[in-house]
Amino acid sequence: MSSHAPTRGPVHDVLIVGGGLVGASLAIALDAQGLDVGLVEAAPAGALPPVFDQRNLSFAEATLNALQALGVLPLLRAPTGPIRRIHVSRRGDFGRLLLEARDYGREVFGRVVVARDFGEALEARLLQLRHLTRYRPARFCGLEVGDPGLRRIRVAEPGGERVLAARLLVAADGAQSEVRAALGIGARQHDYGQTLFVARLRTQRAPDGTAYERLTDHGPTALLPRGDGHYGLVHGVPRAQAEAVAALDDAAFLARVQECFGWRAGRLLAVGPRSAYPIRRCVADALTAPRAVLVGNAAQAIHPVGAQGFNLGLRDALTLAECIAAEGDDPGADVVLQRHAGRRAEDRARTLAFSDGLARLTASEAALLRPLRSTGLLAVSGLAWLQGWLVGGAMGYRGDVPALCRGEAA
């Protein structure tokens, strides 16, 4: 690191810290408005951020609408997996929930995309942008004193430090956001005591468009239909057992998953490389600070049960882009930030409550809750209005939905 004083960079309209799924999507949305955008990325040119791995992303219909409008979906090179039905059950409880997309006038509820494939499509789209400046590899170091109308930050690059400025600073740097901490915004955290193993799975029966969610005392086991003829596996285990599960050979690991999941997809035949992720909830106390805003996991990192995380974060980004477009003159003005926070309130609160409530209720070992859970599954199966409410949320239509998510022009 150079010992010289930081150099001064240009002043951007919007400066996004974090080049992951949500930060990159926001940069694409803002480019259509002709804004001068800076994107601070930890990964060097030619490399994807670590988040773009073999995880399987479940994109809701609203997300697919938006990614099509942003020009990202057509750049996917690998086939996506259609989710035509959702099958939910809980080990040890009676009852199940089966939702069919055709019953709601849809071909699919959503699609499964491998994170790496999505990352490559985002990168291809970023290279097409006309108004974007990328700082990579670069790391956020802290805030600088700036003019009343600007936010200034220090970033570390291979040649030393640089000071960047913008009329609006966007934190899209993940659940442990350094920007959020520097802004003085606190966060409430909860450790679910679970670790999720993610892998590609080959089964006796090829995927038929069914997404399975099998709930247990120690977390979910999900099989998501990929576009390559395999399933994407998500297998939750107690944190205390994670090291032992990671040490299992493929045959023992498959036997464990088979015993937990059952035989709905036939015999489990083969599993690819496994990755493990500890699951924690982190919810920011506020979404905004003067000339600054949090989006994606920097605003809220939630339990993956129900597959709501990226879908929620993308709605953060697109709502912000709409609020900036509505104001026109100053992307960091108080009215823009207030409008954004207000519009995000209902969707954020309902999705957080749904995700956390489902994670806690379904993972509880309390015997008294077993009949309640079973009755709940049966009730949802028999009540069309309740199914419709759940489906609407699962498809990304909660609260004030951005126009691109509705399939409309922004």
DSSP notation for 105-146: T-S-SEEEEEHHHHHHHHHHHHTT-SSEEEE-S-EEEEEE--
Res. 381 pLDDT band, cuts 50 70 90: very low
Does 289 reside within a domain?
A: yes
Kind and range of the H or E run holding 75: none
Does 325 reside within a domain?
A: yes
Q: Count H helices, E strands: the chain?
A: 10, 20
Does 251 reside within a domain?
A: no
Model confidence pLDDT, tens digit, residues 62-83? 999 999 999 999 999 999 999 9
Does 259 reside within a domain?
A: no
Q: State both tokens at 108.
A: 């699919």
Share of the chain above pLDDT 70, in %: 87
- Predicted confidence at residue 330, as pLDDT, reads 95
Model confidence pLDDT, tens digit, residues 330-345? 999 999 999 999 999 9
Task: Tell me the pLDDT of the chain averaged across its residues.
Answer: 87
- Predicted confidence at residue 157, as pLDDT, reads 95
Q: How many domains does the chain have?
A: 1
C-alpha distances (whole Å) from 264 to each of 66, 94, 204, 256, 257 are 33, 15, 10, 15, 12
Does 269 reside within a domain?
A: no
For the ranges 48-52, 263-267, 319-323, 340-344, the lowest mean pLDDT is seen at 48-52
Nearest to 103 by CA among 373, 381, 408, 407: 381
Does 135 reside within a domain?
A: yes
Nearest to 22 by CA among 55, 3, 49, 61: 49
Nearest to 355 by CA among 398, 304, 296, 286: 304
Q: State both tokens at 397.
A: 């239509």
- Predicted confidence at residue 213, as pLDDT, reads 87
Q: Are 173 and 18 in contact (CB under 8 A)?
A: yes
- Predicted confidence at residue 99, as pLDDT, reads 85
Nearest to 168 by CA among 342, 338, 40, 11: 11
Q: Are 258 and 201 in contact (CB under 8 A)?
A: no
Q: Are 291 and 150 in contact (CB under 8 A)?
A: yes
pTM to 2 decimal places: 0.89
Q: Domain residues for 184?
A: 7-56+63-73+115-189+281-368
Dihedral angle over CA of 261, 115, 225, 69, nearest 10: 140
Mean pLDDT of 349-354: 84
Angle between helices 334-363 and 309-327 (to 10 degrees): 170
Does 379 reside within a domain?
A: no
Assign residue 32 the CATH number of its domain: 3.50.50.60
CA distance linking residue 164 with residue 157, whole number of Å: 12
CA distance linking residue 199 with residue 208, whole number of Å: 19
Does 334 reside within a domain?
A: yes
Report DSSP state, residue 351: H
C-alpha distances (whole Å) from 314 to each of 97, 243, 297, 310, 406 are 27, 33, 10, 6, 13
Please count the residues of the chain: 410
